[in-house]
Amino acid sequence: MELRQLRYFVAIVDHGSLSRAARVLHIVQPALTQQLHQLEEELGALLLHRSAQGMQPTDAGKLFYEHAQAILKQVSDARSAVAQSTDKPTGTVALGIPQSASGALAFPLLKAVRAAFPDIVFQLTEELTGNLTEQLRSGRLNLAILFDDGQLGGFTTRPLVEEEMMYITRSDSQFACKRKSITLSKVLQSPLILPSIQHGVRPRIEQVVRQQGLQITNVIDITSIAILKSAILADMGATILPVSPMLAEIERGEMRACPISDVHLARTVTLCASKNIPLTNAAMAVEKLVQDVTRDLCRSGKWLGTRNLMDD
């Protein structure tokens, strides 16, 4: 198996056509077809099939595509690590961020990387926490923002902030908190709209509820934060979340966040990297910048409901 075969296969999947991939790769189509057949013979599996939409990966092809992407990225990172200067880092850095944290951190970080390191190609991916964990482990991401649930042993970790979770409703909701704070048992009497189990916040919520000897019995599971917001604004129920995903709605007065008084319900936002794949100079520069941006957001009060853990 050769690296060029991996590049060829990824190009075919990305472009959905042998002819388009051949043009992009600057090789003739028969040669590309031959390399694909050799790769399939070596793997003992059919990787692609023709459909009305063009060349599509089989189930085996989809699995191999993920590995091929990770391998090619690691090769690219290795070349960048050898070639780049520590004074002016260059190359590609891929960072993953969960949906429920991107509202607070994504845009400030994009601006900071662009201003500080214009020669870095910065790829910011918003995903479910479970997907980010797998992508970081496989090498498709250099860095990821994850929530410390006690399962991060395979990564190097740097705690950034502790983020308080609150009871959030539409401002004029029938389920709105009538006082300055609310108890967990009272929260659980309302219909709850919660992120699905793949989100980092859900296991933490379930854990605290069990520790209190309580149960969540009336819940709507929603994977998308955008759809969850719409459900809250439609007054279908309340949620338990950090303020950051709902910050814009709270500032506009459309939603209200109420502290939960009798339990410590928070999540630790953590910057993670692989223990097995070295960071390039560019990735290390972005790693430091993530910490600097997070610290500034906490000190300025722009990231509400957080406690800075980097200076503890």
Residue pair 303/104 in contact by the 8 Å Cβ criterion: yes
3-79 shares its CATH topology with 86-161+268-308: no
Fold of domain 86-161+268-308: D-Maltodextrin-Binding Protein; domain 2 (3.40.190)
Q: Over 80: is that where the pLDDT of 197 sits? A: no
Confidence band of 31 (pLDDT split at 50, 70, 90): confident
Model confidence pLDDT, tens digit, residues 83-105: 655 567 888 899 999 888 888 89
How remote is the C-alpha of 271 from its chain's centroid? 11
Model confidence pLDDT, tens digit, residues 108-121: 999 999 999 998 99
State the pLDDT at residue 171.
95
Alpha helical stretches, state H, the chain: 3-15, 18-25, 29-43, 59-83, 99-116, 129-138, 184-187, 201-211, 225-233, 247-251, 281-300
Residue pair 269/293 in contact by the 8 Å Cβ criterion: no
Q: Using CA atoms, how far apart are residues 185 and 43, in angstroms rounded to an integer?
A: 55
Half-sphere exposure of 192 (CA within 13 A, CB side): 23
Closest CA to 279 of 91, 124, 97: 91
Compute the C-alpha angle 191/197/123, nearest 5°.
120
**pTM reported for the whole predicted model:** 0.69
When mean pLDDT is compared over 53-67, 125-139, 155-169, the highest value belongs to 155-169
Residue pair 69/141 in contact by the 8 Å Cβ criterion: no
Closest CA to 265 of 308, 212, 219, 309: 212
Compute the C-alpha angle 267/271/276, nearest 5°.
130
Q: Using CA atoms, how far apart are residues 297 and 66, in angstroms rounded to an integer?
A: 34
164-267 maps to which CATH number? 3.40.190.10
For residue 157, CA distances in Å to 118, 146, 187, 272 come to 26, 9, 32, 5
Q: Which residue has the tokens 């944290």?
A: 101
Per-state percent for the chain, helix, strand, coil, to nearest 5: 45, 25, 30
Confidence band of 151 (pLDDT split at 50, 70, 90): confident
SS3 at position 231: helix
SS3 at position 61: helix
Q: What is the dihedral of CA 178, 184, 186, 192, to 10 degrees?
A: 90
pLDDT over 90 percentage in the chain: 43
Domain ranges of the chain: 3-79, 86-161+268-308, 164-267
Compute the C-alpha angle 213/215/219, nearest 5°.
160
Residue pair 49/56 in contact by the 8 Å Cβ criterion: yes
Higher pLDDT, residue 81 or 250: 250
User: Across residues 2-19, what is the average pLDDT?
Assistant: 86
- 118 sits in which H/E element: none
What are the structure tokens assigned to 54, written together? 């063009």
Q: Which residue has the tokens 């961020």?
A: 97
3-79 maps to which CATH number? 1.10.10.10
State the pLDDT at residue 174.
94
